[in-house]
Amino acid sequence: MKTAEIAQRYLEYFERNGHVIVPSASLVTDDPALLFTVAGMVPFIPYLSGNVPAPYARAADVQKCIRTNDIEEVGKTPRHGTFFQMLGNWSFGDYFKEGAITYAWDFLTGAEADGKLGFDPKDLWVTVYEEDDEAFELWKRIAGLSEDRIHRLGKDTNYWSTGLPGPAGPCSEIFFDRGPEYGIDGGPATDDDRYVEIWNLVFMQYAIEDVRSKYDFRIVGELPNKNIDTGMGLERVAFIKQGVDNMYETDQVRPVLDRAVELSGRRYGADHEDDVRFRIIADHIRSSLMLLSDGVTPSNEGRGYILRRLMRRAIRSMRLLGVDGPTFPDLFPASRDAMRDAYPIVAEDYARLSAYAYAEEATFLRTLAAGSVILDASLEATKDAGGTALAGDEAFLLHDTYGFPIDLTLEIAEEAGLSVDRAAFDTLMQEQRARAKADARSRKRALADLSVYRDLRLKGETVFTGYTDLETESSVLGILVDGLPADRASQGQIAEVILAETALYAESGGQVADRGVIIGPGYELEVLDVQKPVAGLVSHTVEVTSGEVGVGQPATSVVDAANRRAARQAHSATHLVHAALRDTLGKTATQAGSLNRAGYMRFDFTWGQSLSDATKSEIEEIANNAVRDNLEVTTRVVALDEAKSLGAMALFGEKYGETVRMVDIGGPWSRELCAGTHVSTSAEVGLISLVGESSVGASNRRVEALVGLDAFRSLAAERALVSQLTSTLKTPREQLPARIAELTASLKAAEKKIAAYETKALGDRLPALVEKASTVGAHRVVAESLGTAASTDDVRGLALQLRDRLGASAGVVALGAEVGGRPVVIVATNDAARGAGAKAGALAKVAATALGGGGGGRDDVAQGGGTDAAALPAALAAVKAALAA
């Protein structure tokens, strides 16, 4: 039974049983405590926690998930994968334990001919929370299981909570017995390789407080509405139904593994270590493809870092299998073809996805080449120093700064006859992980703070009237001061105010929040920010500028009309520039982010190279032609599927409901899903002036533009500057580029002549400097300050010439100079001096310490520098003192 068929059977079964089928949310979650959707319940947290009323009583879904906390186990066990799919059925105050158990057992054991899965009941075992007698009895009655097939387990495995105050409850898990060839008999409590968990039923029935850990808390009572949260692992069910040993051999994953086998020339099943690498590749390529399809791009932080890590682990595994060249052009198409039936977007958008993937592989292959050079130098230095192990901090630097994998470092070090101080490396890694966990805990605390909005959200959604009105009369539903509910806020205080209706736009979709005021009887509030802390609720951060505001009072939100007008211009300009980019570059240039504020817009898009001046001019002209043509701007609310069928573009990672707001400019020429505010016709945008284009990561570019009056003022300033140049240089405007080029060339020629004179002047000082050589200890030493020099290279060249003039005796040269306003000291030693113990690198460090900086280098020539040029005499004296010691 194919994986996609299992999912389809699941959805059809629960739809027949009155469940609303909910599409999968993005892998990118807006939960501040999470980078990704790590479990099927994540999109439903607002409903399960009671912060937002559930829009349905019962639902079912197939949710995409990414989880990397067990990444080191990928490939080693039959069930650990970074990307996985959870089949879930949900009840919000509707059916409870009996219903959940009935549905689960019926779907699992019902006949395949009836659209169910056809598991043999004798292969299924169940666990319940040790104190949940109700679930124990229900399993006996509904499933007919004997008591020895129902294991009672403790809180560590069979009790669910978020680790925060709020909802919690016991859970019950269903396991499949793979048979005696996979382990010992006795049920789930004895062997989790033989007995594979396939379904978890959470009975969310209690409220908890005083949470000391995930399993240490105080139950304060039952929830008024009990919920059901279930999750069945699609990949786990698939490998059982397909009769294979693990999830990596299922129909959605195995094709990538097979392609890796072909590329490597090695056989799957012949060697355990190779098999683990094949599975890592199969898992990570699929996970990378799915992350890319949800708008994540490789980077050095956050979600992008996780994606980069997955890709690089796959590349590293291919390398360890003996393949050094590019492999993504073979592996990613295999994953695309395996996943396209379940997720058509991976095929429809493959040109964009593959551009990121292939560019990342090319970048990392260059990184590996560069890292190998650095590692080789470190290994050589370790050997020269008589060491047997590469320092842990050097291995960590390669890993953390250059992305060089530790196991590759271990492999290359072993080939060089050295080990790696793995203990020191692991300590540094643990410290880094501790910092990451501390950051995650701080984000989790931020999530906990959202509970203060629960009661306010239960009063209904905030109505946004700002599409048509700039003033709206309403009332104060709630006030928060320092994050806590309050009855009132007084003059001078900063507070959050929630209104029933508002004309003020909350920051979203790239558009910044409105400016404005909220006024009422006896008070006025300056609006500092407007946000949506939870779905459907708008919160205004305000400063009470006069009077006192209280809950229940009348309130009128007033938008700063000039700022809103300019923000609308910028947002509509963003749509025009997006359409112009696609006209110029093609349909693969899609939006990757934006920011719109009054008078300014920036737009990030997928593209792998910088834009030429001609291309930028063409984009600017197309966008301004659209302004000139006074295109009609229309907005309408339509079903999401209808909007997609009409070709509306959506922002990756943005969450959309069943209905969406679609913005057209000139009909289908620019058609996007957008909740922002816009002009009525394109002519209202005014002038669009591109002022910047830059890279914001691999295969991502950014254009920036000024809009409306800001664009005009910028161009007027440039006109004034050009006028000043034409007057000063007495050159017509059209001849300015040639005149400035001429002057620049003349200046460079003059600088070269001056540098040549300065170099010659330094060289002329050579005989006098030789005469100043003195004996310090066992060395003949020249330690002099040259004053100012044109370049460090000049000082270095003179030092080397001086060293040669000192003859065969132990000679040390230390020359100081001020170069570009900063002090530098060059130290050079000859063979005899080095034989007597004088090392240039060590002496340069001594000098640099006196200069307030750092230095070092080879034993024969080295450099030190700092910030205090007045300390050059002291630095040279320190070199002499070190030689005399």
Tokens of 128: 């319940």
Signed CA dihedral, 182, 184, 185, 187: sign only: negative
User: Which pLDDT score, from 0 to 100, does residue 32 have?
Assistant: 66
Point out the residues of the chain with pLDDT beneath 50: 440, 443-448
- CB proximity list for 174: less than 8 A, separation 6 or greater: 104, 108, 124, 125, 126, 197, 198, 199, 200, 201
CA distance 472 to 196: 58
Given this structure, which CATH class describes domain 765-884?
alpha beta
Write 687-691 long-range contacts (CB < 8 A, 24+).
Answer: 687/624, 687/627, 687/711, 687/712, 687/715, 688/573, 688/576, 688/577, 688/620, 688/623, 688/624, 688/627, 689/620, 689/714, 689/715, 690/577, 690/616, 690/619, 690/620
User: Which pLDDT score, from 0 to 100, does residue 447 have?
Assistant: 41
User: Can you tell me whether residue 738 is helix, strand or coil?
Assistant: helix
User: Can you tell me whether residue 48 is helix, strand or coil?
Assistant: helix
The annotation status of 65 as a binding-site residue, yes or no, is no
Tokens of 175: 């396991």
- Say what angle helices 97-109 and 133-143 make with each other, to 10 degrees: 40
User: Can you tell me whether residue 400 is helix, strand or coil?
Assistant: helix
CA angle 217/221/222 to nearest 5° reads 115
Please say whether the beta carbons of 275 and 151 come within 8 A. Answer: no
CA distance 473 to 501: 7
User: Can you tell me whether residue 483 is helix, strand or coil?
Assistant: coil
CA distance 564 to 503: 11
Please say whether the beta carbons of 697 and 304 come within 8 A. Answer: yes
CA distance 683 to 782: 74
CA distance 30 to 118: 38
The topology (CATH level 3) of 464-559 is Elongation Factor Tu (Ef-tu); domain 3 (2.40.30)
What does residue 468 show for φ and ψ, rounded to 5 degrees? -120, -25
User: Which pLDDT score, from 0 to 100, does residue 445 have?
Assistant: 43
**776 to 291, 308, 500, 840, 879: CA distances (angstroms):** 66, 56, 85, 15, 10
Identity at 345, one-letter amino acid code: I
Please say whether the beta carbons of 312 and 285 come within 8 A. Answer: no
Tokens of 314: 């796959």
User: Can you tell me whether residue 884 is helix, strand or coil?
Assistant: helix
- CB proximity list for 260: less than 8 A, separation 6 or greater: 278, 281, 282, 318, 321, 327, 331
Q: First-to-last CA distance in the chain?
A: 82
User: Which pLDDT score, from 0 to 100, does residue 444 have?
Assistant: 44
**626 to 578, 683, 690: CA distances (angstroms):** 12, 8, 15
Residue whose entry in the numeric block shows the structure tokens 């490998």: 239
Q: Where are the domains of the chain?
A: 3-249, 258-444, 464-559, 564-716, 765-884
- CB proximity list for 434: less than 8 A, separation 6 or greater: none
CA distance 505 to 567: 11
User: Can you tell me whether residue 24 is helix, strand or coil?
Assistant: coil
The CATH number of 564-716 is 3.30.980.10
Same fold yes or no, 3-249 and 564-716: no
The annotation status of 571 as a binding-site residue, yes or no, is yes
- CB proximity list for 421: less than 8 A, separation 6 or greater: 389, 390, 391, 392, 395
Write 238-241 long-range contacts (CB < 8 A, 24+).
Answer: 238/1, 238/2, 238/3, 238/6, 239/78, 240/176, 240/178, 240/196, 240/198, 241/1, 241/6, 241/117
User: Which pLDDT score, from 0 to 100, does residue 448 have?
Assistant: 42
User: Which pLDDT score, from 0 to 100, does residue 363 have?
Assistant: 84
Tokens of 117: 């899965």
Residue 343's nearest CA partner among 804, 725, 24 is 24
- CB proximity list for 856: less than 8 A, separation 6 or greater: 841, 844, 845, 848, 862, 863, 864
Residue 651's nearest CA partner among 671, 633, 673 is 673
User: Which pLDDT score, from 0 to 100, does residue 402 have?
Assistant: 66
User: Which pLDDT score, from 0 to 100, does residue 475 have?
Assistant: 95
Tokens of 374: 């650095």
What does residue 249 show for φ and ψ, rounded to 5 degrees? -105, 10
CATH architecture of the domain formed by 3-249: 2-Layer Sandwich (3.30)
